[in-house]
Amino acid sequence: MHLYTQSASPNGQRVEVFMKEKGVELSMTQVDIRSGENLGDDFLAKNPFGRVPTLELDDGTYLSESQAICRLLEGLYPEPNLFGATPQELAVIEMWSRRVEMNFMMSVAQCFRNSTGFFKDRERCSAEWGEIAGEAARDAAARLDAHLANNQYLVGDRYSVADMTLAIAVGFARNVGQDYFDLPNLARFHGEVTARPAFQS
């Protein structure tokens, strides 16, 4: 297997931290998103949606979407379990992963892209939507903070892929000027998760 990625991106980080949690190493090629290499014909042949990371499998097919790549690695390298071991645990971890991604991380990304025009060479931006998405991200962060007041991790004391995603999203948000460290439980959680060996470079 061979990973096409951009290690500086939050989705790139998700796959690399997951690999470290599993003790898996993969050969990698960095894709230059800033210059739009991911939108060129060579890369679109690997992923018609133009996103990194994308994993080339041993049968020559390509697998995209960070969470799908992590789920493949979970199946191939079952220990330590990060997606859940029983039907109920698998479902609850999926629920938290989706709350983190769709309510928080996606709002952070839409705020960033629309407010800063970081990708304005390739996408239309709306400053108004950037502001609305920022409010949605803040709202989701507050709900996550309230939950973490009574839970070490998103699923009680059970560390999972959802925690990894949230910690990376909170760090990414800070890097792009959206600071959620005033929320004490989220700040405590971020410190604890990013102290794990898998988060060290």
In the complex with a copy of itself, the residue whose CB is nearer, 8 or 57, is 57
Strand partners, 62: 56
Which neighbouring-strand residues pair with 5?
A: 30
Binding status of residue 24 toward a copy of itself by CB under 8 A? no
* Torsion of Cα atoms, 88 then 148 then 145 then 113, to 10°: -50
What's the rounded Cα separation, in Å, for the pair 54 and 15?
10
67 binds a copy of itself (CB under 8 A): yes
Helix (H) or strand (E) holding 157: none
Which DSSP symbol is given to 103? I
Amino acid present at 107: S
Dist CA 129 CA 186 (whole Å)? 25
Euclidean distance between CA atoms 127 and 112, whole angstroms: 10
Per CB under 8 A, does 23 bind a copy of itself? no
Task: Single out the residue of 64, 107, 165, 178 in contact with a copy of itself (rule: CB under 8 A).
Answer: 64
11 binds a copy of itself (CB under 8 A): no
Nearer to a copy of itself, 105 or 170 (CB): 105
| Per-residue interface string for the shown chain with a copy of itself, residues 114-153, x marking contact by CB under 8 A | x---------xxx-xx--x--x----x--x--xx------
**Interface residues toward a copy of itself, by CB under 8 A:** 48-49, 57, 63-65, 67-69, 71-72, 74-76, 86-88, 90-92, 94-95, 98-99, 102-103, 106, 114, 124-126, 128-129, 132, 135, 140, 143, 146-147
